[in-house]
Amino acid sequence: MRVLVTGGAGYIGSILSRMLLERGYDVVILDRLFFGTDPIKDILDQVKLIKDDVRWFDPSVLDGIDVVMDLAALSNDPTGELDPSKTMEINYKGRVRVANLAKKKGVKRYILASSCSVYGFQEGVLDENSKTNPLTTYAKANLLAEQEVLPLADKNFVVTALRQATVYGYSPRMRFDLAINGMVLGFYKKGKIPILRDGTQWRPFVHVRDTSKAFILTMEADEEVVNGQIFNVGSNEQNYQIFPLAKLVAESIGLPFEYEWYGFPDHRSYRVSFDKIAKELKFKPDYTPKEGAREVYEALKDGRADPDDLRTITVKWYKHLLYMQKFLREVEVNGVIL
């Protein structure tokens, strides 16, 4: 069985691609490689890599593909605001393009990497039937993509949207702009965990290998269980308030709990129900934030993760790429020779 992973060289995609290989699937990665090929360098001889863009790749890429896992995106809120029209082009229109082409080409299943951010911030515990309240361009693009790809579902084309919680844990494309990973980085660099005021806000979390497992479970599930369905990806017990979570991170690393506040009080809080994925897909996480924090700390200590690599803060890296693009255009226009 041949699986196309768009964004397969990214934080989640590079782990998911490895897990697919471990289970014996053929893997094709389609990625613009904004973060380079380093995250997948050790599996390059086992996958087919296509360096291209979801907005304009040649549809023949989908020939012979059985399943598409669509992860390519500008992957967080601040990045999504750098150029909102590009975010819409990639995260909304790009995914709708991938899904439509996949259906036309006879691909059997399509899984969309969506996000719990579509709920915005609301009181209570939110499930897949709760009203959505997307507050950012990133969240709006996710919701629009869901709304256009889910109706493509029919008996020959199984479509599922996975609304992932905030992910944590080590990946070869490291992201320190995610809450738990960022806490570990602060601890590593300054001996203090940065905590966004006032620490009482709730957020749902999931480990990067667990969310990857959810993609695989979705692909392997009976089609009547997943077709046209939305699943929140995470687990009820991994809804955390930020301050206790920071304490847990310190404990897991085995250092005294030192912290520093930053930002304005964040009153945006939300909790998510993961009953549906537990019941329907028998999904249970294998990892907790304690293990995730420890493995990220170990990766920093043994040099697998670079604490000063600009690429690990997604918005900073995309800003840098945009700056370089503008600079190079100016060089071209003015005929400046470097």
Name the site residues for ligand NAD (rule: CB under 6 A): 6-7, 9-13, 31-35, 53-55, 71-75, 90, 94, 113, 115, 164, 166-167, 173, 175, 178, 314
The b-or-e profile of 215-224 (16+ CB within 10 A means b, else e) is bbbbbebeee
Please state the closest distance from residue 57 (CB atom) to ligand NAD, in A. Answer: 8
Count the alpha carbons within 13 Å of 237 in the hemisphere toward its beta carbon.
Answer: 9
Closer residue to ligand NAD, CB minimum distance, 103 or 173: 173
Please state the closest distance from residue 224 (CB atom) to ligand NAD, in A. Answer: 26
Closer residue to ligand NAD, CB minimum distance, 73 or 214: 73
Closer residue to ligand NAD, CB minimum distance, 87 or 252: 87
Please state the closest distance from residue 26 (CB atom) to ligand NAD, in A. Answer: 20
DSSP assignment letter at 210: H
Report how far apart the first and last C-alpha atoms of the chain are (Å, whole number): 48
Cα distance between residue 67 and residue 65, in whole Å: 6
H-only helix segments in the chain: 11-22, 77-80, 84-87, 95-104, 137-149, 179-190, 208-220, 223-226, 242-253, 275-280, 289-301, 314-334
Closer residue to ligand NAD, CB minimum distance, 78 or 192: 78
Chain centre distance of CA 70: 10
Cα distance between residue 272 and residue 267, in whole Å: 16
Cα distance between residue 232 and residue 204, in whole Å: 10
| Total Cβ atoms within 10 A of residue 235 | 22
The DSSP secondary structure of 41-88, one letter per residue, reads GGGTTTSEEEE--TTT--GGGGTT--EEEE--S--SHHHHTTSHHHHI
Closer residue to ligand NAD, CB minimum distance, 233 or 281: 233
Closer residue to ligand NAD, CB minimum distance, 166 or 222: 166
Please state the closest distance from residue 113 (CB atom) to ligand NAD, in A. Answer: 4
Closer residue to ligand NAD, CB minimum distance, 10 or 186: 10
Count the alpha carbons within 13 Å of 329 in the hemisphere toward its beta carbon.
Answer: 6
Cα distance between residue 222 and residue 227, in whole Å: 9
Residue labelled with tokens 């992957």: 75
Please state the closest distance from residue 149 (CB atom) to ligand NAD, in A. Answer: 13
Please state the closest distance from residue 299 (CB atom) to ligand NAD, in A. Answer: 16
Cα distance between residue 2 and residue 29, in whole Å: 11
Closer residue to ligand NAD, CB minimum distance, 68 or 71: 71
Closer residue to ligand NAD, CB minimum distance, 121 or 257: 121
Please state the closest distance from residue 169 (CB atom) to ligand NAD, in A. Answer: 10
Tell me if the bond preceding 53 is cis, omega within 30° of 0.
no
